[in-house]
Every structure is written in C-alpha cells, then in structure tokens.
C-alpha cells in the first residue's frame, strides 16, 4: 500500500493485520455523537498506523455490547450508553 487510509471490515482482519504488521501502537477513539432517541450514536474506532498507511476499524453496538469485539456498553445514572476506556484497554492488551 502506498499510504492512505485502509478501512478494515472485521475485527478478525484487524487483528490479523496487527500480528502481521507489528505496529508500534494502536490508537482508539470512542465516538459518542450526542443523544438521539432513534439511533445509536456510540461506536469504537481503532486506528493502526503502519508506515505511510492507517488501518481503521469501526465497531458498533449490538444489544449491550459492541458487535465484533464484544466490549460491553455501559449505562450512566441517566441511562445514557457509553464505552469505558478501561474496557477497551483491557481488550486490546489481551
């Protein structure tokens, strides 16, 4: 790949690439775009910089956890759903 952003469609593929490419780091971003009664707006973005390329994987909720990684979705006192930083860190280290 000659640089740019590569969208990775599954966690298994992202994991395979991480093992193969051995990046120095994996960065995550928990995206919570506000409150909506009709749509789930919480997601997890994993970014793996390797050379001139960035491999990006997005995981979205399904029920009470993220669809591919299985990271739990928590609720605050008001019932707002969120992803805990510590849950992501523990998942990435295992």
Compute the distance between CA of residue 67 and CA of residue 69 in angstroms, rounded to an integer: 6
Q: Model-level pTM greater than 0.95?
A: no
pLDDT value at 60 more than 70: yes
Q: What domains are defined for the chain?
A: 4-93 (3.30.720)
Contact call for residues 4 and 54 (beta carbons, < 8 A):
yes
- Bridge partners of 28, per DSSP, are 46
Q: Express each pLDDT in 6-35 by its tens digit.
A: 999 999 999 999 999 999 999 999 988 666
**What number of CA atoms fall less than 13 Å from residue 11's CA on the CB side?**
12
Number of Cβ within a 10 Å radius of residue 45: 13
**The predicted structure's pLDDT at residue 38:** 65
């Amino acid at each position: 790949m000659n640089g740019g952003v590569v969208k990775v469609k599954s966690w298994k593929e992202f994991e395979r690439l991480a093992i193969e490419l051995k990046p120095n780091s994996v960065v995550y971003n928990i995206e919570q775009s506000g409150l909506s009664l009709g749509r789930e707006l919480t997601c997890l973005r994993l970014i793996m910089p390797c050379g001139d390329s960035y491999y990006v994987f997005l995981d979205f909720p399904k029920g009470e956890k993220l669809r591919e990684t299985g990271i739990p979705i928590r609720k605050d006192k008001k019932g707002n759903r969120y992803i805990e930083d510590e849950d992501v860190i523990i998942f990435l280290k295992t």
